Amino acid sequence: MKIEHTSSLLAILDDDKSIQSALRDLIESEGMSTLCFDSAEQFLDSGAKHKAACLIADVRMPGMSGIELQANLKTERCRIPIIFITGRGDIPLAVTAMKEGASDFLTKPVDGAALLCSVERALQQNLASRRKATERASLVARFESLTPREREVLPLLASGLLNKQVAFELGITEWTVQLHRGHIMRKMQADSFAGLVRMAAKLSSDHQQHLHVQFAVSS
């Protein structure tokens, strides 16, 4: 199989140099670049977590284990997909890793075709995650372009209140609400009011995930 993500960078973590070499040769035969590390600490110190599109890691390594590395990356909100390589005795650990969001786990000796399939799925996952993050950042930026009053009007409108009800809630005229509504639609780049409501719901969800956005949809 020939994976199309030729510009992807994969990080390989294993303290066994022979396994590192075998995995590197397999991945690079598909046109992708690799970086190899002997330990989780070495990987974290390198800054590769900000560049790699996928991480292939042994579950058990000297120092920080693969499971501990996964928890570390999760704490830092680093969403790099991880494929764990395990010995047969480590399967319970691998199951735990999967529950915590690992992309896949494979047992040694690793089947090359199975690994490449796992890499393809992980890269697709990474691409979707990056696209979602870009869309979220764009949405937040548009919201932050609103004036303080428009930020008050938006959740009230999205909650289903009529213009006159919003006007009453805020102590302004209905005409002013209509004016704000037009400005909000334009700044948020909403092609319909239904689209604006969906944006409001996403902003509300992001706020619950500790984004620095002052937004709360009225109940």
Q: Is the dihedral of CA 188, 189, 195, 198 positive or negative?
A: negative
pLDDT at residue number 74: 83
Q: Where does a domain end: 72, 102, 135?
A: 135
Assigned domain for 19 exists:
yes
Q: Are 54 and 126 contacting, i.e. CB atoms less than 8 angstroms apart?
A: yes
pLDDT at 62: 87
Q: Are residues 83 and 33 in the same domain?
A: yes
| pLDDT tens profile 83-134 | 998 877 677 777 777 777 788 888 888 899 999 999 999 999 888 888 888 8
Note the pLDDT of residue 214: 46
Overall number of domains in the chain: 2
For every residue of 20-63, DSSP letters joined together read HHHHHHHHHTTT-EEEEESSHHHHHHHTGGGT-SEEEEESS-SS
Residues 21 and 112 in one domain: yes
Q: Is the pLDDT of residue 168 over 90?
A: yes
Please, which residues have CB within 8 angstroms of residue 96's CB and are 6 or more apart in sequence? 67
* Residue 200 and residue 94 share a domain: no
Residue 50 clears pLDDT 90, i.e. is over it: no
pLDDT recorded at residue 44: 92
Is 117 found in the same domain as 56?
yes
CATH number of the domain at 204, please: 1.10.10.10
Residue for token pair 């969001």: 101
79 three-state secondary structure: coil
Query: Do 126 and 88 fall into the same domain?
Result: yes
Q: What token pair was written down for 218?
A: 């009225």
d(CA 17, CA 36): 9
Q: pLDDT tier at 66 (50, 70, 90 boundaries)? A: confident
pLDDT over threshold 50, residue 217: no
- Euclidean distance between CA atoms 173 and 130, whole angstroms: 42
Residues 43 and 109 in one domain: yes
- The pLDDT mean for the chain works out to 85
96 and 24 within one domain: yes
Q: Which domain holds residue 166?
A: 146-211
